[in-house]
Amino acid sequence: MGTKGKAIVGVDVEKLLTLLNKAYADEWLAYYQYWVGAKVAVGRMRGIIAGELEEHADEELKHAKMLTERIITLGGTPLLKPEDLLKQTNCGYDAPSDPDTISLLKQNIKGEQCAIETYNKLLEFVKDKDPITYHMVLEILEDEVEHEEDLESLLQDMS
C-alpha cells in the first residue's frame, strides 16, 4: 500500500489483518453453507427459499472479495488453505445436514446473527482510526442486517 495510505491507519495493522482474515474465513464458509443449502433444500416454499439462499451466497462471496482486497492493500495475505478457514472462523460452519427449508432458515439466521455481532465489533475496532476499513465493514454489516431480516420474514411467512 502507498506510504500515506498506510500512515493514516491508526490501529495495529497486524491485529487488523488477523480480524479481517477471520471475517474472510466466515464469508467463505457462509458462502458455501448458503450455496450448498440452496442445492439440497426440500420442503415448503423450496423454490423461493432456494432462490434467496443463492442470492445470499453471491453476496457472501462479494464480501470475501472486498475483505481480500483490503487485506492485500494492507500488506497482508488472505488465508490460503481451506483448513485455515475452519481454524480461523468466528461463526463456524453449520452443515445443512437437515435439508428441510425451515431448518435451513433457522441455521442461516443463526449465522447472520453471528456475522452481525462480528462486524459490529470490527466496526468499533476501526472507528475513527481507519476510515477506509470502517466504510467497507459498514457496507458489509448493512448487507448482513438485510440478510437476517430476509430470512426472518421468510420464516414468519411459513408459520
Residues of the shown chain interacting with Fe ion in the complex, contacts defined by CB under 5 A: 27, 60, 63, 144, 147
Nearer to Fe ion, 7 or 144 (CB): 144
Q: What is the CA radius of gyration of the chain?
A: 17
Spatial separation of the C-alpha atoms in residues 69 and 46, rounded to whole Å: 35
Q: Which residue has 475483505 as its cell numbers?
A: 67
What does the per-residue mask of binding to Mg ion show for 97-136, with x meaning CB under 5 A? ----------------------------------------
Which does residue 148 bind out of Mg ion, Fe ion, none, counting CB within 5 to 8 angstroms by kind? none
Spatial separation of the C-alpha atoms in residues 158 and 100, rounded to whole Å: 12
> With CB under 5 A, what is the number of residues at the site for Mg ion?
1
Nearer to Fe ion, 16 or 140 (CB): 140
Which does residue 144 bind out of Fe ion, Mg ion, none, counting CB within 5 to 8 angstroms by kind? Fe ion
Q: Is 144 in the site for Mg ion (CB under 5 A)?
A: no
| Angle at which helices 131-158 and 46-73 cross, to 10° | 170
Which does residue 130 bind out of Fe ion, Mg ion, none, counting CB within 5 to 8 angstroms by kind? none
Amino acid (one-letter) located at 39? K
- Are residues 29 and 86 in contact, defined by beta-carbon separation less than 8 angstroms? yes
Contacts of residue 37, defined as CB under 8 A and 6 or more positions apart, other chains included, come to 53, 96, 99, 104, 107, 108
Q: Is 150 in the site for Mg ion (CB under 5 A)?
A: yes
Kindly list the residues in this chain that would bind Mg ion in the complex (CB under 5 A). 150
